[in-house]
């Protein structure tokens, strides 16, 4: 009778199969990770745009004296900022009071897509002469 030797280690085929399974799983994980990083970058850009729009809206609508303004466009780094103030008469109001509509739009190119955040508010104020 011949004695069977106990197998020690792995065969080359077993090692190659294990390596293939590992490579496929790492490729899937890398795809998920890169999608997460891209989503984070997009949301970071939108959050910055919202903060900038909110700050600009507070700056142009603060106070009690306003005047109507055509749309003005400024750039701040990669962001394009558009601001406008329109005026409407208030019924039963004094002649120096009006309803003002403030609008701020911030836009930017983000991963090849044009993203825009728009905020607006209304204020009753005195007409600035």
Average pLDDT over residues 44-56: 93
| Per-residue pLDDT at 4 | 64
pLDDT band at 8 (very low <50, low <70, confident <90, very high): confident
Q: What is the pLDDT of residues 82-115, one digit of tens each?
A: 999 999 877 877 778 889 999 999 999 877 889 9
CA–chain centroid gap for 122, Å, is 24
Q: Distance (Å, rounded) from C-alpha 124 to C-alpha 122?
A: 7
* Residue 113, number of CB atoms within 10 A of its CB: 8
For 49, the token pair is: 């745009």
| Per-residue pLDDT at 106 | 95
């Amino acid at each position: 009778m011949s004695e069977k030797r106990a197998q020690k280690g792995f065969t080359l085929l077993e090692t190659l199969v294990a390596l293939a399974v590992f490579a496929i799983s790492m490729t899937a994980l890398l795809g998920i990770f890169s999608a997460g990083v891209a989503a984070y970058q997009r949301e970071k850009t939108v959050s910055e745009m919202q903060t900038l729009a909110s700050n600009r809206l507070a700056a142009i609508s603060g106070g009690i004296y306003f005047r109507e303004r055509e749309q003005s466009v400024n750039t701040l780094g990669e962001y394009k900022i558009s601001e406008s103030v329109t005026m409407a008469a208030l019924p039963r109001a004094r002649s120096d009071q009006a309803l003002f509509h403030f609008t701020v739009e911030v836009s930017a190119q983000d991963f090849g897509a044009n993203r825009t955040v728009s905020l607006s508010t209304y204020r009753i104020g005195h007409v600035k002469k």
